[in-house]
């Protein structure tokens, strides 16, 4: 099969012919139909991620069709439409059994090393083993993944749209729906209008927020935020907190969301949350070693801070539900897709992302 290989950090990905072994027990072979190009792929490709390794096949925003299943697979069968999950749901670990978190503990260690759960790989090239990435490796025509890391979705859903639910979109939606549990009639401020922030705007709208203020540096992105339900938009700057206080009778917002990855903006998001009960949800991933500064007085006077990984979405249960809401017309996915690419244009996807040209490039496989 064809796959985009990260051969060396900082160099373009190389589309090559790789071998993919048959799925083993509990594993599934998926024919990919579409895959979004996300910042995390570029972050690893650049060499900035300290836990990164090469060679590997990047890609984690995949959607496709089950081609075949290995022994003991009970959750899926050939023909099922699936979204790939870098965060699985085994359904049995202490975290899966608890409603408070989506951080499944089942396969974390081996996944982090680039292995499938049994500690081996299915990817190779002329006998040389190639490691998997995020347990997904979806910049490829096919992938083998554990069944617990695949969400079975409505087969009517267009897969080039559904793939966005594999990462950024679910992260933003879930931050509002699951982590913050935004209440109807409330005021929310979302910092950042990339895929995650726009998802959070949409999530606040679905939860019935009355006012949704979106803050970004790009007018084009703020326009997209309006399309997702932002009632007010602001250009970010040093004075953002003061401006939000002015908009909220001096109190701040019931809910704030940070989706930029910038620790200064995280601090603004904490300070723009309302005294008494304001909840700041941090979704952005900060640089290595960076810390978030909070003056304790902000906490003592009733603000709270929460972090959100993959929007608190338990993938196998939660992603199909979000896709159903999209199919019901509640979530407008089309505006997020700015470019459709072929696999051999994957590096162009990175360039478009660096140029902030659109929100998402989606690779489509033939």
Ligand X SMILES: NC(=O)c1ccc[n+]([C@@H]2O[C@H](COP(=O)([O-])OP(=O)(O)OC[C@H]3O[C@@H](n4cnc5c(N)ncnc54)[C@H](O)[C@@H]3O)[C@@H](O)[C@H]2O)c1
Tell me whether residue 19 or residue 49 sits nearer to ligand X (CB atom): 49
Sign of torsion over alpha carbons 7, 12, 15, 16: negative
Q: Is 167 a residue that touches Zn ion (CB under 5 A)?
A: yes
> Nearest approach, Cβ of 103 to Zn ion (angstroms)?
8
Helix, strand, or coil (residue 336): helix
Find the binding residues for Zn ion in span 105-124 (CB under 5 A): 106
β-strand pairing of 19-20 with 337-341: unpaired
Tell me whether residue 123 or residue 279 sits nearer to ligand X (CB atom): 279
Question: By rule CB under 5 A, what string of x and - marks binding of each residue 60-99 to Zn ion?
Answer: ------------------------------x--x--x---
Helices (H), the chain: 39-46, 108-112, 159-162, 168-174, 195-206, 219-228, 240-247, 263-271, 296-300, 315-327, 346-354
Q: Is 38 a residue that touches Zn ion (CB under 5 A)?
A: yes
Catalytic residues: 38-40, 60-61, 90, 93, 96, 104, 108, 167, 360
**How far is residue 340 from each of residues 45, 62, 84, 161, 213, measured CA to CA in Å?**
21, 14, 19, 11, 30
The residue ranges that bind ligand X (CB under 6 A) are 39, 167-168, 171, 191-197, 215-218, 221, 236, 259-262, 265, 283-285, 308-310
Q: Which does 284 bind (CB under 5 to 8 A by kind): ligand X, Zn ion, none?
A: ligand X
Q: Is 40 a residue that touches Zn ion (CB under 5 A)?
A: yes
Q: Calculate the CA 181 to chain-centre distance.
A: 18
Tell me whether residue 137 or residue 262 sits nearer to ligand X (CB atom): 262
**First and final C-alpha spacing in the chain:** 12
> Nearest approach, Cβ of 151 to ligand X (angstroms)?
15
Q: How far, in Å, CA of 182 to CA of 175, rounded?
A: 9
Rule CB under 5 A: which residues touch Zn ion? 38, 40, 90, 93, 96, 104, 106, 167
């Amino acid at each position: 099969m064809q796959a985009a290989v990260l051969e060396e950090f900082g160099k373009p990905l190389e589309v090559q012919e790789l071998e993919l072994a048959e799925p083993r027990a509990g594993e599934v072979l998926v024919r990919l139909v579409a895959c979004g190009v996300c910042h995390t792929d570029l972050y690893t490709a650049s060499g900035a991620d300290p836990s990164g390794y090469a060679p590997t096949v990047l890609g984690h925003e995949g959607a496709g069709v089950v081609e075949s299943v290995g022994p003991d697979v009970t959750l899926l069968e050939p023909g099922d439409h699936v979204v790939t999950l870098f965060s699985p749901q085994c359904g049995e670990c202490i975290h899966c059994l608890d409603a408070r978190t989506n951080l499944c503990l089942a396969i974390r260690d081996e996944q982090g090393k680039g292995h499938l759960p049994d500690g081996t790989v299915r990817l190779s090239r002329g006998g040389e083993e190639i490691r998997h990435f995020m347990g997904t490796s979806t910049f490829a025509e096919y992938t083998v993944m554990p069944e617990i890391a695949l969400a079975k979705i409505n087969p009517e859903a267009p897969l080039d749209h559904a793939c966005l639910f594999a990462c950024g979109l679910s992260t933003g939606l879930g931050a509002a729906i699951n982590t913050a549990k935004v209440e109807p009639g409330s005021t929310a401020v979302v910092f950042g209008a990339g895929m995650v922030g726009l998802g959070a705007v949409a999530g606040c709208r679905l939860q019935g927020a009355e006012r949704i203020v979106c803050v970004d540096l790009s007018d084009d992105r703020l326009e997209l935020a309006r399309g997702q339900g932002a009632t007010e938009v602001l250009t970010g700057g040093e004075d953002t907190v003061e401006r939000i206080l002015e908009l909220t009778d001096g109190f701040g917002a019931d809910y704030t969301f940070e989706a930029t990855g910038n620790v200064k903006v995280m601090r603004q998001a904490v300070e723009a949350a309302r005294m008494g009960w304001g909840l700041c949800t941090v979704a952005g991933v900060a640089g290595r070693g960076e810390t978030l500064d909070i003056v304790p007085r902000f906490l003592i006077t009733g603000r709270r801070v929460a972090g959100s990984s993959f929007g608190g979405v338990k993938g196998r249960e939660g992603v199909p539900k979000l896709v159903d809401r999209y199919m019901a017309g509640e979530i407008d996915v089309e505006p997020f897709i700015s470019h459709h690419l072929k696999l051999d244009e994957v590096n162009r996807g990175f360039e478009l992302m660096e140029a902030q040209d659109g929100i998402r490039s989606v690779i489509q496989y033939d």
